[in-house]
């Protein structure tokens, strides 16, 4: 297998460190619009299979050319969701398998944004499923931790643990703190704003996909391994769009343990229009410049990938499932916890970034072995879950099952 | 009198509308870095005494040249406080009287920002007082509404109402609402951030000037004319630096009726570093651009000067004074209230902007008549207050005195 990774930010860099320990590929190009970031990621592996390149992720032609130049058969997208469509298109044009960790962006319903879906997450990718089927290639979408491992958990529950599923609810929570900063998100603020301020999407078998208001339906979920109870709210997330396509469940939801301070910050950013991505014009040293307010918010905050040394605590990603087995009600929480001290010591990557980055590498390994195969636009739940879950424990902390939800 | 006004934003434009009704000058140049703004302000007066010009307020030489070109004897600065020093310098170099409505910026004490002053508001101007004295010219600083009218009230209280003054406390509050916006400040957000997030300065006769933490010492002040009780907090403001130089009082403070929502917004902006003025680098359509986060915040919000049509309510500026008269304790609140409906109907200017803009025009009128005169760097309390207060009522709603504080 010959891999082109686009994006050498926090997750991309962690992917190179994780992949460097595995033997399943022979050539791995890390490309970024900042060549220095790609070179630093490659140098840190000390592995001759890795090569750095400069590429603009928005330039589909340039990415296709880079695939050809390095004879890569896989494109792994580790950029932010704005670049999904050009990279998805570049992989198809270049005859490469495609993987991403977030899907093409949604657009709210113009009249009833908090009741009905407009353009849904991933719609622009599923529209082109026929092209991927005809090309005989898989586009494996949403294969980070959430979406990703959470979807694999959903499929595993359906295959192994339940006869009938009433509800699948992804629940994400952490007790991470960062020394020395008043406010320091542990994940990309750009993506967090996008997923938290868009209308959350829910699935109901009778109603189909529908939306609610941001931060709706707060619930306290008790996270394992000492994290404890955290207030979680509805957030727009790919699992709700992916799971029902391959797994039969009456309801699918995603709730994120944001905490009140984070919710207040996001509400204020929205109130002031600072969540906007359409440019405003301000003065700069080189004259008037059109900049995205959300990019400026991100530029003012520390890079979450660089905070690992100051971070303490654990992060938990998991899928709560309620249904019946052998005629009796059953409830489980399938989860994966990473302790930041462990991930920093072992990989030099902070917990949230590391927990995201292992999943596309596991998927690449299963695709290389032929254990996972297919054609079309596919979610992680379209593939057999057990081989994937077996590898999670080989990469680091194993996944867990809590009986009783 | 021949006036050069620099800055044709909200306050500058209101100044032209107010001045156009007065006969005391023969030539009035409105200059702005956006010529179209200056031209619009001039055209709206329909008065042949007014002329538009383009100038960069940061370019001291260009401003001095413009003074000479139009043979102006007065420079009135209606820009934001970043341009105080070049304009102050241009007036001195050009032999012109200088007026502004905010003074040169402060810098917090490097080690003890919430206990001790670093560089104070106006320090960079007072440093050059000797040059103005030798030139025989007045630099009249802080002659808006606050500072400005509030300082005139302080001097009037000392001259006419009290034998001894214990405390002078400027108190500013409003009940303004803006239709159609979730959040729309009624005054420049740039200046509001500057004054609210800097350490508030206080004066005590024994201790001198000192600082506290932002938003400290909350108190509920009951504002007149139906505005009612509003929570006020300490804010850095010029009056605290100006009043003690000319008026004898044991304590001087400034509290602003921000309200909890506004305080929360300012705290969040600070927490995220979005109050910063030093540039961050972000992408723009023309490549990487270095922009000030605070400028981006301002660009995302509606221009307060353009909100008058959607605004309702009243704004109150005033000075609360406590002391003794003829051996008995006395407490008064001297204030000026403007109803937005009135100022929009009468001048097409929103209430806060109009209330700011009348004061430099009154001062110009008194300087033109020789009623106010002097040399050096002077605050509004350095001049006889009664002629000023008499003119307030000639321009619009009269000022008021509430006995009992």
Asked if residue B286 has pLDDT above 90, the reply is no
Cβ-defined contact of A299 to B281 (cutoff 8 Å): yes
Q: Is B299 on the interface with A (CB under 8 A)?
A: yes
Contact residues, chain A, for B286 at CB < 8 Å = 286, 289-290
Highest mean pLDDT among A176-190, A355-369, B295-309: A355-369
Confidence of residue A182 (pLDDT cuts 50, 70, 90): confident
pLDDT at B138 over 80: yes
The alpha carbon of residue B70 is apart from the nearest alpha carbon of chain A, in Å, by: 28
pLDDT score for A275 = 94
In a domain, B235, yes or no: yes
Q: Give residue B305's pLDDT.
A: 76
Instruction: Tell me: do A154 and A28 sit in the same domain.
Output: no
In a domain, B129, yes or no: no
Please answer yes or no on whether B284 and A289 come within 8 Å at the CB atom. Answer: yes
The domain boundary residue, chosen from B65, B84, B100: B100
Q: Tell me which chain B residue has its CA closest to the CA of residue A281.
A: B299
The verdict on A195 and A61 lying in the same domain is no
- Cβ contact, residue pair A272, B183, below 8 Å: yes
pLDDT of residue A212: 96
Nearest CA in chain A to B285: A290
Give B368→chain A minimum CA distance, Å. 37
Average pLDDT over residues A193-210: 94
CA distance B321 to B165: 7
Asked if residue B314 and residue B233 are part of one domain, the reply reads: yes
Structure-model confidence comparison of residues A376 and B259, the more confident one: A376
Residue B103, helix vs strand vs coil: coil
φ, ψ of residue B387 to 5 degrees: the values are -60, -35
| Domain contains A54 | yes
Residue A344 · residue A352 · CB < 8 Å: no
pLDDT for B266? 94
- The answer to the question of residue A114 being in a domain is no
pLDDT score recorded for residue A308: 84
Burial per residue of A333-363, b for 16 or more beta-carbon CB atoms within 10 angstroms, e otherwise: bbbbbbbbeebbeebebbbbbbbbbbbbbbb
In a domain, B118, yes or no: no
A136 and chain B: CB distance < 8 Å anywhere? no
* CATH assignment of the domain containing A18: 3.40.50.720
Chain A residues touching residue B290 (CB < 8 angstroms): 284-286
Structural domain of B185: 149-349+399-403
pLDDT of residue B401: 98
Q: What is the mean pLDDT of chain A?
A: 96
Angle between helices A340-347 and A10-19 (to 10 degrees): 60
Query: Between B284 and B204, whose confidence is greater?
Result: B204
- Do residues B188 and B51 both lie within one domain? no
| Pairing between β-strand A138-140 and β-strand A376-378 as defined by DSSP bridges | parallel
ipTM of this complex prediction, to 2 decimal places: 0.73
Determine which of B174-188, B194-208, B210-224 has the lowest per-residue pLDDT on average: B174-188
B276 interaction partners in chain A (CB closer than 8 Å)? 300
Tell whether A292 is within 8 A of chain B (Cβ). yes
Q: What is the pLDDT of residue A320?
A: 98
pLDDT-based confidence at residue A304 (cuts at 50, 70, 90)? confident
- Asked whether residue B50 falls in the same domain as residue B178, the answer is no
B154 and B88, same domain (yes or no): no
pLDDT band for B261, please (50, 70, 90 cuts). confident
**Chain B residues inside the 8 Å CB shell of A33:** none
Residue B308, pLDDT score: 84
Nearby residues of B262 by Cβ (< 8 Å), 6 or more positions away: B185
From the list B268, B272, B301, the residue facing A301 with the nearest CB is B272
B116-128: pLDDT as tens digits: 999 999 999 999 9
Q: How many domains does chain B have?
A: 2
C-beta of residue B122 within 8 angstroms of C-beta of residue B104: yes
Do A96 and A156 belong together in one domain?
no
Q: Do B166 and B96 fall within a single domain?
A: no
Taking contacts as CB-CB distances below 8 angstroms, the residues of chain B near A268 are 264-265, 268-269
In this structure, are B41 and B161 located in the same domain? no
Residues on chain B touching A296 (C-beta within 8 angstroms): 274, 280, 282, 291, 293, 296
Q: Do A274 and B296 touch (CB under 8 A)?
A: yes
Judge if the upstream peptide bond of residue B147 is cis by omega within 30 degrees of 0.
yes
pLDDT band at B182 (very low <50, low <70, confident <90, very high): confident
Report if residue B141 sits inside a domain: no
Chain A residues close to B192, C-beta within 8 Å: none
Q: Which tens digits make up the pLDDT trace of A236-273? A: 999 999 999 999 999 999 999 988 888 899 999 999 99
Interface mutation target, options A291, A294, A298, chain B, most CBs of B under 10 Å: A291
The H helix count followed by the E strand count for chain B is 14, 20
Q: Which chain A residue is nearest to residue B262, measuring alpha carbons?
A: A268
- Say whether both B79 and B170 belong to one domain: no
Of the residues B100, B115, B137, the one at which a domain ends: B100
pTM of the predicted protein model = 0.76
Q: How many angstroms separate the CA of residue B256 from the nearest CA in chain A?
A: 21
Of the candidates B272, B283, B290, the beta carbon closest to that of A297 is on B272
Nearest to B394 by CA among B27, B23, B146: B23
Q: Between residues 200 and 239 of chain B, which touch chain A (CB distance below 8 Å)?
A: none
Query: Quick check: A305 pLDDT over 80?
Result: no
Stretch A191-199: mean pLDDT: 89
**B239: pLDDT confidence band, cut at 50, 70 and 90?**
very high
Do residue B92 and residue B154 come from a single domain?
no
Segment holding A272, helix H or strand E: none
Residues of A in contact with B292 (CB under 8 A): 282-283
- Quick one: pLDDT band at residue A16, thresholds 50, 70, 90? very high
Q: Is the pLDDT of residue A329 over 80?
A: yes
Partners of A278 on chain B (C-beta within 8 Å) are: none
B130 domain residue, yes or no: no
Tell whether B47 is covered by a domain. Answer: yes
Q: For residues A283 and A346, state if they share a domain.
A: yes
Residues 6+ apart with CB under 8 A from A206: none
The CATH number covering residue A303 comes to: 3.30.360.10
| B42 Cβ contact partners less than 8 Å away, ≥ 6 residues apart | B16, B30, B50, B51, B52
Which of residues A100, A131, A160 is at a domain's end? A100
């Amino acid at each position: 297998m010959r891999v082109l990774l686009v994006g050498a930010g926090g997750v991309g860099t962690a992917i190179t460190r994780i992949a460097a320990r595995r033997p399943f590929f022979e050539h791995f190009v890390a490309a970024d619009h900042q060549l220095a970031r790609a070179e630093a990621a490659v140098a840190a592996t000390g592995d001759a299979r890795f090569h750095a390149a400069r590429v603009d992720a928005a330039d589909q032609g340039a990415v296709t050319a880079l695939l050809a130049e390095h004879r890569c058969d896989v494109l792994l997208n580790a950029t932010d969701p704005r670049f999904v469509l050009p990279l998805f298109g570049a992989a198809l044009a270049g005859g490469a398998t495609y993987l991403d960790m977030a899907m093409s962006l949604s657009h709210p319903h113009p009249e009833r944004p908090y009741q009905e879906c407009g353009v849904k997450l991933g719609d622009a990718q599923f529209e082109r499923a026929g092209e991927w089927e005809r090309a005989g290639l898989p586009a494996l979408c949403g294969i980070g931790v959430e979406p990703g491992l959470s979807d694999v958990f959903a499929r595993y529950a359906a295959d192994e643990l339940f006869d009938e599923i009433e509800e699948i609810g992804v629940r994400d929570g952490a007790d991470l703190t960062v020394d020395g900063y008043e406010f320091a998100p542990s994940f990309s603020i750009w993506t967090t704003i996008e997923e938290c301020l868009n209308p959350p999407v829910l699935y109901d078998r009778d109603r189909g996909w529908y939306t609610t208001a941001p931060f709706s339906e707060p619930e306290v979920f008790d996270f394992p391994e000492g994290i404890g109870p955290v207030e979680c709210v509805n957030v727009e997330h790919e699992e709700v769009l992916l799971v029902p396509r391959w797994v039969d469940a009456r309801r699918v939801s995603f709730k994120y343990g944001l905490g009140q301070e984070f919710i207040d910050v996001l509400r204020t950013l929205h109130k002031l229009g600072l969540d906007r991505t359409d440019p405003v014009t301000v003065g700069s040293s080189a004259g008037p410049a059109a900049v995205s307010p959300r990019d400026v918010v991100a530029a003012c905050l520390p890079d979450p990938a660089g905070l690992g040394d100051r971070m303490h605590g654990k992060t938990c990603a998991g899928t709560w499932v309620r249904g019946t087995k052998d005629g009796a009600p059953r409830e489980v929480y399938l989860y994966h916890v990473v302790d930041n001290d462990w991930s920093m010591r072992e990989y030099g990557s902070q917990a949230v970034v590391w927990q995201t980055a292992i999943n596309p590498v596991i998927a690449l390994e299963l695709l290389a072995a032929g254990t996972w195969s297919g054609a079309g636009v596919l979610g992680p739940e379209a593939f057999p879950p057990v081989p994937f879950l077996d590898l999670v424990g080989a990469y680091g902390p194993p996944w867990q099952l809590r009986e009783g939800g």
